[in-house]
């Protein structure tokens, strides 16, 4: 990994993250990292079990570099058919300890590991949904992104809409984007339900969430939903005046 590292690549990749996100990059291009992972897997696949991969991933999740974390998760995902229900305990600890301290690692964990746990152990959806009440940003984001893949298949939709509704007041942009992404995927399975939900919630929904959620709708319908969910001008003016007076 050190041999494949390139500071110029690291500088380029850093641009995809907010200044406040704690990013430690070696600067390895994604195809090169995948090649390293494939070579590693070929060397261990006959001797390692899921347990070995889980311990290895736990070690790499504690490394500072994003590439180390990604490598650990990529290798662990190879063993997804053997994922036990209690693997969710590992993932929750990684999130709580801020070992997934940016959107990229959090989303990788959610889409490649947690969503596969939910595929095999549906009862664990209750645990993931409870993360929405956490003060930890990454647990809250995970409570949304973990359902992205299942939602696209029409699964856990009740939990999806309950979780999005619970997080509508959340002020963080990364939550707004994750909620919109999740709703967009839920709309693949039930487009009418998504439209009805957006119109019913109206101005309560952050604009970023709405824009992400309606990406697959026809343009005419997108414009209609954007207009119907817009904060009324009078309410917006009052909110602006209150904000200025508080400053």
Structure tokens at 230: 């817009």
Residue 34: pLDDT band (50, 70, 90) is very high
Structure tokens at 155: 């699964």
DSSP secondary structure string for all residues of 192-242: HHHHHHHHHHGGGS-HHHHHHHTTTS-HHHHHHHHHHTSPPHHHHHHHHHH
Of 19 and 121, the structure prediction assigns the larger pLDDT to: 121
Work out whether the CA dihedral 27, 31, 34, 40 comes out positive or negative.
negative
Q: What is the pLDDT of residue 234?
A: 52
Q: What is the pLDDT of residue 246?
A: 42
**Residue carrying structure tokens 């990059």:** 25
pLDDT in tens, 156-168: 999 999 999 999 9
pLDDT in tens, 93-136: 999 999 998 999 999 999 999 999 999 999 999 999 999 999 99
| Predicted confidence (pLDDT) at residue 169 exceeds the cutoff of 70 | yes
| Predicted confidence (pLDDT) at residue 236 exceeds the cutoff of 90 | no
Work out whether the CA dihedral 150, 152, 153, 154 comes out positive or negative.
positive
Task: Spell out the residues 6+ positions from residue 22 whose beta carbon is closer than 8 angstroms to its own.
Answer: 98, 101, 102
Q: What is the mean pLDDT of residues 22-39?
A: 95
Q: What is the pLDDT of residue 245?
A: 44
pLDDT in tens, 36-90: 999 999 999 999 999 999 999 999 999 999 999 999 999 999 999 999 999 999 9
The CA distance from 129 to 143, in Å, is: 5
The CA distance from 91 to 80, in Å, is: 14
The residues spanned by each domain of the chain are 1-82, 86-232
| Predicted confidence (pLDDT) at residue 25 exceeds the cutoff of 60 | yes
- Residue 12 phi/psi, 5-degree rounding, is -65, -45
pLDDT in tens, 208-223: 999 999 999 999 999 9
Length of the chain, please?
Answer: 247
Nearest to 74 by CA among 44, 119, 46, 98: 44
CATH class of 86-232: mainly alpha
Q: What is the pLDDT of residue 94?
A: 97
């Amino acid at each position: 990994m050190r041999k494949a590292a390139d500071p110029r690549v690291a500088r380029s990749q850093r641009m995809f993250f907010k200044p406040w996100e704690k990013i430690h990059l070696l600067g390895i291009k994604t195809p090169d990292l995948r090649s390293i992972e494939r070579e590693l897997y070929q060397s261990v696949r006959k001797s390692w079990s899921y347990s070995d991969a889980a311990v290895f991933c736990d070690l790499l999740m504690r490394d500072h570099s994003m590439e180390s974390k990604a490598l650990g998760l990529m290798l662990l995902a190879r063993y997804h058919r053997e994922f036990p229900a209690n693997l969710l305990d590992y993932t929750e600890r990684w999130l709580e300890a801020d070992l997934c301290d940016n959107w990229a690692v959090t989303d990788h964990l959610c889409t490649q590991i947690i969503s596969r746990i939910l595929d095999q152990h549906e009862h664990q959806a209750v645990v993931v949904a409870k993360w929405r009440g956490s003060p930890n940003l990454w647990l809250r984001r995970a409570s949304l992104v973990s359902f992205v893949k299942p939602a696209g298949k029409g699964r856990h939709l009740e939990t999806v809409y309950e979780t999005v509704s619970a997080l509508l007041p959340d002020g963080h942009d990364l939550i707004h984007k994750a909620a919109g992404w999740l709703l967009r995927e839920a709309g693949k399975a039930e487009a009418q339900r998504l439209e009805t939900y957006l119109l019913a919630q109206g101005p309560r929904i952050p604009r970023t969430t709405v824009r992400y959620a309606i990406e697959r709708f026809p343009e005419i319908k997108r414009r209609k939903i954007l207009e119907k969910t817009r904060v009324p001008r009078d309410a917006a003016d009052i909110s602006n005046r209150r904000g200025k007076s508080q400053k």
